[in-house]
Amino acid sequence: MTRKAFTEDFKAKVALAAVQEQETIAEIASRFEVHPTQINNWKALAINNFAVIFQNDKTKLGGSSSESKRIEELERKIGQLTMDNDYLKKNWQNYQRKTGGK
């Protein structure tokens, strides 16, 4: 027997239905054709990770602070390289004007 692969959107929809508790787990399992234990696992995972949505720091949803630091570091490097490139272009043009070269 092969295992079903569920999308993140599907898991979220099932977990939300379980969290809302408007239906029993058995009813949700029947409606979505998923085992009740799986629904309980997704529900617990959703409840345990709700706080991530409301985090008030620079980390992006699903991201880590080390990823954020790396992104900031790369953005600084891009800025520095852009400034260096602009400086070199300007000086190269000045050099060409002075020497009459191409």
* Whole-number pLDDT of residue 56: 62
51, two tokens: 């706080």
* pLDDT tens per residue across span 19-73: 999 999 999 999 999 999 999 999 999 998 888 877 765 555 556 678 888 889 9
* Whole-number pLDDT of residue 63: 60
* Whole-number pLDDT of residue 51: 82
Are 37 and 68 contacting, i.e. CB atoms less than 8 angstroms apart? no
* Whole-number pLDDT of residue 46: 92
**How far out from the chain centre does Cα 74 lie?**
17
Q: What is the radius of gyration, based on Cα positions, of the chain? A: 27
* pLDDT tens per residue across span 5-18: 899 999 999 999 99
Domain boundaries, the chain: 8-99
